[in-house]
Structure 1
Amino acid sequence: MEAEINNDLSAMIKLKENFKDLAEGNIQIPKGKLNSRIKNCIDDKVLSLYQDLLINDSGPLFKHFLASIPNILEELSRISISLKKLNESDDFLCSYWEIEAFDGTNGRALNKILKTEINILTNSPNFSNKKYFINYNSSGKNYFEFGTFFEIYDLMFQKKQFFDFIYEMAAFQFYGRDRYEHVSLVKKRLAKRGIAIFLEKLMNSDENEFILQEDTKDWIYKKRFFSEEEIIWKRKFMLEDMHKGLLTKNEFEITLCSLFENVALIWNSTNFYEYLATNDTEKFDRFLCEIGDPYIETVFQFYMPVLIKRGANVYK
């Protein structure tokens, strides 16, 4: 095996039973109705279909994910609708790996709105997610692999499989702080002109700002779906271990810039951030042009999208 998990640092191993309960719907079930804040404001039947698929054709853990990060439903929509439009002009992507994307809801929904389906791989180290993938899957182009990021990386390495698009769905915090290693492995599995998006929960050099972000997320957004007792329970029994694997925003940006020619912060919601990274400047520019501005409720946005690096030019 080329990549190995560090058992001493892995929150995924420590929290295995909690995530099993989440995936089986035994705990932390969203009480309020999940809905899009933009669906009724935009006359777009494809967007409406896509968002309905995310909400209705998903298992308990993906629903918990939607109810835990402010406006992530709207952001996943922005990314997938943009990919659809880019693929209609040419073969912008033919293969896609969603890293630890629960039951594959996002990838399955994308293939349903594409005119021509592509190969989409979802992996999860939580076996309970597999049954929801099977229950909702209707395409032979969608694939599910049970295993950690490192295990599936090794499988793809052995198969010499590369991807046009890779999306990391807030997975790396569970495997310690060596983000250089994690991102390097993603880069090794990208096709020559491939692009990657990293959804990361990040600390802040200002601890007070991080606390404010966490409180804003919990007591304004998550309280729509969870009781105060549930929010406090998760903080105590899950987040303390999960936060041990976080980098600061600055540390992660330095890591990306050391590995990619082009980097941009494309979305922020409290202490979650989404970064676009690639060595292909033409695809980088096209994607940034296509996605436009994000939808984010003002109270949750602490940082605006910003170009960080383009070729030899570093902007911050």
Structure 2
Amino acid sequence: MTVDPETIERWRNAPRLTSFAPFFERTASGRGGAPDLAQPQPDLSLMDFDLDCAVFADTHTRLFGIFDQHYYASIPYRLEEECRLGAAVLSFALQNWARAMMPTTIYTLGTGTGCLARSLAALGGGRIKTLCCSPTPANREAFLARRGSEHTHFFLGPFFELDDDRYASDSDLSPFRDGFDVLFEDTTFQMYDQDRVKQLEFVVPRIRQGGVLVQVQKLAHEDAAVYAERERQKDELFKARYFSQEHISEKKAEILNTMTACQVDLSTTTAALRAFFRYSVVTWNSGNFYMIASSNSRASLVELISLMLKPAMPPAFCYEPLPLVVIDTESDPLGPELSWRSATATAAVAPRRSLSS
């Protein structure tokens, strides 16, 4: 987990910790950036009223911090995807606990208030221990206000300060000294630089044998017109439900135009992942946003994906045939075993029992 000092210094001077920092603190503290037309709520119909997703969605929304409202109103169907992913990771973690009879460890890197980490820890009941990080003090305040479980922890600082020395010396990090079963990076690397190899070089050693890396990235596109059209779709058909046009224009000027300089395309991020993993699969795509799951364990990746519902969004926002295998092996390919699970309907939509039954 050693990265050269020049790279660390470049990350310290990156947009996330310099020009973007005031925006994130202002938004996370409720002094700006919030949706001004409506608040996002999960659409259970897009998840086929699945029971596991409904339970996760209920817990997740109860634990929202201020920044979460902004985040889920900004990315099309990201809230539904978080519930789909959260339910799958919860099942994956509990199955892992049942096999090993040890707490499953999960790190959500750069996830604002750590709502996903808090939800998983709350539902895990001690069988899951989670860590999240953010360099924004207001996100730590939101984390502590609705922590939800003693089994979730927050590190105030950028991801690259969580090095071996910090894990060894910080007692709050003691459950995570041996690494993580799931490491989730959420639109964070794209705010530091384009060198995905160096970023992965820093975090991948923290993934345990059999563990999985899950990433959400906003990717560039080789055709600038395609990228722009997907952005138009996002702004006009999704964000306009929650933000006025004035708010959308302000954010584009303050954040998005700068962020594009640190984005990479799918082929570049795949090439970086190939240096560390035998398998990678795109499990979600919404416009320019992609979720990619990677592992050196075929069994772990197949298991996690088999616990996911089909993507919960209108087809018009998805531009890839999912699941899309981007890294595979010839000797033991993933493709034949990849499939989504079927939904288990909640009682609200299932046939009601009569009193005599």
Point out the more displaced range, 236-245 or 203-212: 236-245
8 Å Cα contact 2:46/2:313 also seen in 1 = no
Aligned equivalents of 1:162, 1:156: Cα separation in 2: 13
8 Å Cα contact 2:136/2:157 also seen in 1 = yes
8 Å Cα contact 1:170/1:198 also seen in 2 = yes
1:164-216: per-residue Cα shift (whole Å, max 9, x none)? Answer: 11000110011111111111222111112211101111100011111011111
Equivalent of 2:78 in 72, 82, 94: 72
Per the alignment, residue 56 of structure 1 pairs with: 62
Identity %: 22
8 Å Cα contact 2:220/2:263 also seen in 1 = yes
Secondary structure of 1:231's match? Answer: helix
Q: Kindly provide the amino acid, as one letter, of the partner of residue 309 in structure 1.
A: I
Q: Within 5 Å, which residues of 2 pair with 1:91-102?
A: 91=97, 94-102=104-112
Equivalent of 2:211 in 180, 185, 194: 194
Per the alignment, residue 107 of structure 1 pairs with: 117
8 Å Cα contact 1:281/1:311 also seen in 2 = no
C-alpha distance 14-161 of structure 1, shift in aligned 2 (>3 A): farther
Q: Kindly provide the amino acid, as one letter, of the partner of residue 17 in structure 2.
A: M
Per the alignment, residue 18 of structure 1 pairs with: 23
C-alpha distance 43-239 of structure 1, shift in aligned 2 (>3 A): closer
Point out the more displaced range, 108-117 or 126-135: 108-117
Which one has the largest radius of gyration? 2
Per the alignment, residue 150 of structure 1 pairs with: 160
Q: Within 5 Å, which residues of 2 pair with 1:176-187?
A: 176-187=193-204
C-alpha displacement of 1:52: 2.7
Q: Kindly provide the amino acid, as one letter, of the partner of residue 235 in structure 1.
A: K
Q: Within 5 Å, which residues of 2 pair with 1:75-94?
A: 75-91=81-97, 94=104
Name the Cα RMSD after superposition: 2.3
Secondary structure of 2:307's match? Answer: helix
Aligned equivalents of 2:195, 2:235: Cα separation in 1: 27
| Structure 1 runs of 4+ with >6 Å offset | none
Aligned equivalents of 1:116, 1:129: Cα separation in 2: 23
Q: Kindly provide the amino acid, as one letter, of the partner of residue 233 in structure 1.
A: E
Matched, 1:136 2:113: no
C-alpha displacement of 1:74: 1.2
8 Å Cα contact 2:111/2:133 also seen in 1 = yes
Equivalent of 1:120 in 121, 124, 130: 130
TM-score by length of 1: 0.92
Unpaired runs of 5+ in structure 1?
Answer: none
Equivalent of 1:29 in 2, 12, 34: 34
Secondary structure of 1:291's match? Answer: coil
Q: Kindly provide the amino acid, as one letter, of the partner of residue 169 in structure 1.
A: D
8 Å Cα contact 1:39/1:47 also seen in 2 = no
Matched, 1:38 2:41: no
Aligned equivalents of 2:60, 2:41: Cα separation in 1: 10
TM-score by length of 2: 0.82
Aligned equivalents of 2:44, 2:112: Cα separation in 1: 24
Aligned equivalents of 2:203, 2:330: Cα separation in 1: 22
C-alpha displacement of 1:256: 1.1
Aligned length: 316
Aligned equivalents of 1:37, 1:5: Cα separation in 2: 42
Secondary structure of 2:74's match? Answer: coil
Aligned equivalents of 1:148, 1:275: Cα separation in 2: 22
